[in-house]
Amino acid sequence: MQITLSVIKADVGSIGGHTKPSEEMLATVRRRLTEAIGKKLLVDGLVTYTGDDIALIMSHRQGAGASQVHMFAWDCFLAATAVAKAEGDYGAGQDLLVDAPSGNVRGAGPAVAEIEFELLPQHRPAESFLVFA
């Protein structure tokens, strides 16, 4: 079975400058990720963050560059941006919106890294990955 690991991250706002996304921002994205797994868009996934960037680590069967998976991530980032705006967080939508107030380069867009591999459970019952975000 062919599996794709997609890691997509973006800075869409944070508390107290460039520190970390708010708990509500992360909870919003986690809810969406759980729904996507339930709807079989994703095999599995994890929402995490590095500094003020939210990262979605997702496994799926659609292949690298899958528009459904990329649009799902984009929609998650828009939802987190809406939370950041409502909370008055710093740099809401910074990597998505050209007009996001941040005082530095903005609108650069999300960062993406993807890898496809053949899952061979009879040889390797699990795959381990290390992601530097």
Q: What is residue 104's DSSP assignment?
A: S
In a domain, 73, yes or no: yes
Task: Name the burial class of residue 98, with classes exposed (0-12), middle (13-18) and buried (19+) by CB atoms within 10 angstroms of its CB.
Answer: exposed
49 within domain boundaries: yes
Q: Does 101 reside within a domain?
A: yes
Q: What is the pLDDT of residues 62-120, one digit of tens each?
A: 999 999 999 999 999 999 999 999 999 998 988 886 655 555 555 567 899 999 998 88
CA 49 distance to own-chain centroid: 9
Burial of 38 (0-12, 13-18, 19+ CB in 10 A): exposed
Please indicate, yes or no, if residue 97 is contained in any of the structural domains: yes
Domain with 10, as residue range(s), is 2-118
- pTM of the full predicted structure? 0.88
124 lies in some domain: no
Q: What is the pLDDT of residue 101?
A: 53
Quote the number of domains for the chain.
1
Residue 50 within any structural domain of the chain:
yes
List pLDDT tens digits, range 35-55. 999 999 999 999 999 999 999
Residue 38 lies in a domain: yes
> Domain containing 55 — which CATH number?
3.30.70.1290
Residue type at position 90: Y
